[in-house]
Amino acid sequence: MANPRIRALTWWRKWAKRDWAIAAVGFTIILFALTLLFDSRNPDLNSTDDLIPLTLLRRAKATGAFCLDGSLPAYHFQKGFGSGSNNWVLHIEGGGWCNSIESCNDRKRTALGSSNYMDQLVEFSGILSGHPSQNPDFYNWNKVKIRYCDGASFAGHPESQFKNGTKLFFRGQLIWEAIMDEVLSLGLSNAKEALLSGCSAGGLATLIHCDDFRDHLPKDATVKCLADAGFFLDEPDILGNRTMRAFYHDVVQLQGTAKSLHKNCVGRMEPSKCFFPQEIVKNVRTPLFIVNPAYDFWQIQHILVPDASDPHGYWSRCRLNIQKCNSSQIETLQGFRNSLLKALSELQQRKEVGMFINSCFIHCQTLMAETWHSPNSPRINDKEQTIAESVGDWYFNRKVSKQIDCPYPCNPTCYNMDFTRSL
């Protein structure tokens, strides 16, 4: 029988070939595969105590806050203890977006569009771990994992729903508001310290809703936001086409996300451009931390080298394993890294902003014990700090934490994904 991790990655590749817009549905599969891999290397990190049950948002029905298929939104909650009893970390799940009726219909038959398909128990690890050895600064905080089931980074609006018999609910903004009401009632309203985080599309949602999160909490609370692998670039692909811009345009038009974006931005430019983090962060008042690999495999495979841009397969192995890239391809990847650093340049000047930009071929690093905080976690420039320690230094103002790695292949501490194993 084939290795389940390989089967998972092969499944994702098939989705990508059929329709890259929904290929990100496989993000959950990839994250699961990564977790399996890391856990197999660290069996002592596992504990049944970290399996947290799913809670349906029952009160959401009254406000019409539904997943794509009309099911109730959901979350997982673990109560804090000791010194962390009044502190909160919320993490928004990732998983791409849907940009058409077809792709949203496909998505609603998965855990990324319906709570009917969500696992009843999920492991809390990385930034959600309850173990001080894995999560030194936030282990005893109240922890919430927000499940993602709307396909538009919690920014869709029902006014955009079709009335032609297609049963799709674009209620992302209502889900966000219902989740906030629920968690505030659980004790978030009395928070002393709080951190909103998210990975991938959840990282984008974190940037979109960061200031709103801040506005819901006590004025004297310390409130900050962390976006992991959510800084998606508005860059042309290798053929010069603006593939990601066109895709975001379709998402914004389909789900009516402009109403969730900053008015100053949508008043100045086409709303889909305001869906890109580089524009969003210009208006965010709350302190931010950006965790991003300079060679984010999702962005390389879907923004820089989407399938349609490589009909002859010249990039086929490079886009699956950075170690298979030739010198010309590496030069192109270095240009993509330079674009990321340029997009982050304004943030680098802001004192309240932290960042950890490593030179790894990976996507999302805060939810897994090995990449968040372990003896094998990635470091930058021979420093001893893990991502967790850098985030902790920034959150608690222990010291300025803006770390940017040297270009690939300089960092031996990286874990670089290798998708060629699935071929």
Is 302 considered catalytic here?
no
Among the listed residues 176, 175, 170, 249, the one whose alpha carbon sits nearest the alpha carbon of residue 206? 176
200, 309, 374, 390: the catalytic one is 200
Beta strands in 147-203 (DSSP E): 193-199
Among the listed residues 261, 284, 264, the one whose alpha carbon sits nearest the alpha carbon of residue 272? 261
Is 309 considered catalytic here?
no
Per DSSP, helices labelled H in 199-321 are 201-216, 243-255, 263-268, 277-280, 297-299
Per DSSP, helices labelled H in 269-315 are 277-280, 297-299
Is 228 considered catalytic here?
no
Cis peptide before 409 (omega within 30 of 0): yes
AA identity, residue 146: I
Find residue 122's DSSP bridge partners. Answer: 52
Among the listed residues 360, 244, 380, 247, the one whose alpha carbon sits nearest the alpha carbon of residue 299? 244
Among the listed residues 221, 338, 218, 231, the one whose alpha carbon sits nearest the alpha carbon of residue 284? 231
Among the listed residues 335, 350, 150, 368, the one whose alpha carbon sits nearest the alpha carbon of residue 235? 335
Among the listed residues 41, 36, 149, the one whose alpha carbon sits nearest the alpha carbon of residue 97? 149
106, 363, 401, 405: the catalytic one is 363
For 133, residues 6+ apart whose C-beta sits below 8 A from its C-beta are none
Residue 27 three-state SS: helix
Alpha-carbon distance of 274 to 128, in angstroms, equals 30
Largest pairwise CA distance in the chain: 58
- Would residue 418 be called left, alpha or beta, if left means φ above 0 and alpha means ψ between -120 and 50 degrees? beta
Is the CB of residue 403 less than 8 Å from the CB of residue 355? Answer: yes
106, 137, 296, 405: the catalytic one is 296
Alpha-carbon distance of 195 to 263, in angstroms, equals 25
Which residues participate in catalysis according to the annotation?
200, 296, 363
